[in-house]
Amino acid sequence: MVRGAGVGPAGGVRIRPAVLEDAAAIARVHVDTWRTAYRGIVSAAYLRSLSYGEFEKRRRERLARPETCTFVAEARGQVVGFATAGPNRLADAQYDAELYAIYVRKAFAGRGLGRALVAAVASRLAADGFRSLLLWVLRDNAPSRRFYESLGGIPAGEKSERFGRQDLPHAGYGWPEISTLQGVALPAFPAQNAPPSGPSHSKGAAMVTAKVLEAVNEQINNELVSSYTYLAMSAHCSNGHFHGFAKWLRIQSQEEYAHAMKLLDFLLNRGGAVKLNAIGEPKVKFKTMQEVFESALAQELAVSKRIDALYELAQKEKAFSLMVELQWFLTEQVEEEKSARDIVAKFHLIKNDPVALLEMDRELGSRGPEKG
Ligand SMILES: [Fe+2]
Ligand SMILES: [Fe+2]
C-alpha cells in the first residue's frame, strides 16, 4: 500500500490506505469496537478475553497480503476506523469480493466515516477488477444492518460463525455491482481515494471530448430513467399482490442504477464533468402484468439502440477507453433483451390462466441478486 494517497481533510479526518505500521492502531480499534458494539450479543467473557496483541498479529499478516486492501480513517493523526476487503473467502459464483471488516470508533460514529471507508474499499476493489461485494454481519447487530441496508445491500443468506464457545448467526448482505458503492461517500469524503490502477486508469488517458461528455451524461440519465421506470413497475406489481414480479423488477431497477454509476465513474475517472439531468415521471398504470413486461422489453430495446449509437460516436471520436467501457454494456444489453423477451413469450403462452400466472410470479420471485 502507498502512503500519501489519502484524501481530506474534512473536520481533520482523512481516509488513506493502511500501511504495516498501522497494525497496532487498527487492532486497538478492532478490539475496542467489538467490546462496545457486540455487548449483549457476544458473551462478556469472550469479549474480555480479546487481546490487542493477537489482533495486531493477525492484522500484520493480512496487511502483508497483496490480494487484500485495507483503508484507515485518521483523525488528528490517530486511526479511528478501518475497513479491510479482498477476495470472497467462500467459493461463491455470485459475489467475488468480500468486505471482511469495517469498524469506526463510537466517538466518531455518524460522521460519514463508515461510508467513506466503504467507498474507498469499493473503488480499490473495482480498480482491481472485482465486480461484486458480499459481507457478513452478526444477525442481531441491528445498527450495522441498518447501515448496510442504507448503502443498498440486499440480503445474501445466513450462516453461523464461532465466537469462543458460541455459534452466532450471521446475515449476509450483497452488492451485485460493486460500482454502486463507489459513490456512497458524503461529499466531504471523495470516493476516488484509491490510487488508480489497471488499464482503464492508465496515466495520461485522454480527456473526453465535449461530444462524448454530453452523450455519456445523456446515457447516465437514460440508465437512471430505466431504473426509475422499473421501480414504478415493481411498485405497481406489489400493489397488485404479485410480489415475485415486484422483486424481479426491483432487482432490475437496482441494476440500472448500477449501470448509471458505472458511466458516472467513467466520467469522474477521466475528469469529465457530470451533469445530472431531470428524470421524468414514469408510467404507473398498466392493464395487465403482461403489459408491464412488454413495456420492459420495449425499454430494453430502446436502451440497446442508444448504447449502439453511443458506441458509434465513441468510434468516430476515437474515444477508445469509452469503447472498451461500452463493450460491457453491449453484452449486458443482449442479456437484458433476452430475459425480457423470454418473459414476454411466457405471458403469450399462459394467456390469462391465473394458476400459470401465479406460478410465473413465484418463478420470477426466485431471482437472485444478479440475474433472473
Ligand atoms: Fe441499463
Ligand atoms: Fe436494462
Per-residue pLDDT reduced to its tens digit, 111-122: 788 988 998 899
Average pLDDT, the chain: 86
Written out in words, the top-level CATH class of the domain with range 13-196 is alpha beta
State the distance from the centre of ligand 2 to the C-alpha of 303, rounded, in angstroms.
Answer: 7
Question: Domain map of the chain by residue range?
Answer: 13-196, 200-365
The bound ligand whose nearest atom lies closest to the alpha carbon of 300 is 2
Which pLDDT score, from 0 to 100, does residue 325 have?
86
Assign 351 a pLDDT band (cuts: 50, 70, 90).
confident
The bound ligand whose nearest atom lies closest to the alpha carbon of 223 is 1
* Angle, CA 124 vertex, CA 122 and CA 126 arms, to 5°: 65
Q: Would you say residue 13 has pLDDT above 80?
A: no
State the distance from the centre of ligand 1 to the C-alpha of 223, rounded, in angstroms.
Answer: 5
Question: How many Å apart are CA 96 and CA 126, to the nearest integer?
Answer: 11
State the distance from the centre of ligand 2 to the C-alpha of 260, rounded, in angstroms.
Answer: 10
Assign 370 a pLDDT band (cuts: 50, 70, 90).
low
Q: Would you say residue 199 has pLDDT above 50?
A: no
Min mean pLDDT across 51-65, 205-219, 248-262 is at: 205-219
Sign of the Cα pseudo-torsion (311, 296, 358, 355, in order): negative
Q: Would you say residue 340 has pLDDT above 50?
A: yes
Cell numbers at 73, concatenated: 480513517
Confirm if 160 and 245 have CB atoms less than 8 A apart: no
The bound ligand whose nearest atom lies closest to the alpha carbon of 263 is 1
State the distance from the centre of ligand 2 to the C-alpha of 94, rounded, in angstroms.
Answer: 19
Please give the distance of CA 192 from its chain centroid, rounded to a whole number.
Answer: 15
Question: How many Å apart are CA 258 and CA 226, to the nearest integer?
Answer: 11
Q: Would you say residue 10 has pLDDT above 60?
A: no
Min mean pLDDT across 96-110, 220-234, 249-263, 318-332 is at: 318-332
Sign of the Cα pseudo-torsion (318, 320, 325, 329, in order): positive
Average pLDDT over residues 204-220: 79
Would the CATH topology of 13-196 be identical to that of 200-365? no
Cell numbers at 213, concatenated: 461528455
* CATH 3.20.20.140 is the classification of domain 200-365: no
The secondary structure element, H or E, covering residue 204 is none
State the distance from the centre of ligand 1 to the C-alpha of 139, rounded, in angstroms.
Answer: 33
Q: Would you say residue 173 has pLDDT above 90?
A: yes
Which pLDDT score, from 0 to 100, does residue 268 have?
84
Question: How many Å apart are CA 55 and CA 49, to the nearest integer?
Answer: 12
Q: What's the number of CA atoms in the CB half-sphere (13 Å) around residue 166?
A: 14
Say whether pTM exceeds 0.75. no
% the chain with pLDDT above 90: 60
Which pLDDT score, from 0 to 100, does residue 369 have?
63
State the distance from the centre of ligand 2 to the C-alpha of 20, rounded, in angstroms.
Answer: 43
The residues, ordered by sequence, that sit 6+ positions from 199 with a Cβ below 8 Å of its Cβ are none
State the distance from the centre of ligand 1 to the C-alpha of 354, rounded, in angstroms.
Answer: 31
Average pLDDT over residues 53-59: 94
Quick: pLDDT tens for 242-291. Answer: 999 999 999 999 999 999 999 998 888 777 888 998 998 998 889 999 99
Which pLDDT score, from 0 to 100, does residue 182 have?
76
Cα–Cα distance list, 30 to 37, 52, 85, 318 (Å): 10, 9, 15, 49
Quick: pLDDT tens for 71-103. Answer: 999 888 899 999 999 999 987 778 999 999 999
Q: Where are the beta strands (DSSP E) in the chain?
A: 13-17, 69-75, 78-87, 97-104, 133-138, 154-163, 166-175
Q: Would you say residue 204 has pLDDT above 50?
A: no
Q: What's the number of CA atoms in the CB half-sphere (13 Å) around residue 24?
A: 2
Coarse DSSP helix, strand, coil percentages of the chain, rounded to the nearest 5 percent: 55, 15, 30
Which pLDDT score, from 0 to 100, does residue 2 have?
32
Identify the DSSP state of 368.
Answer: -
Determine the 3-state secondary structure of 168 from DSSP. strand
Quick: pLDDT tens for 177-188. Answer: 998 887 666 433
The residues, ordered by sequence, that sit 6+ positions from 92 with a Cβ below 8 Å of its Cβ are 134
Which pLDDT score, from 0 to 100, does residue 232 have?
97
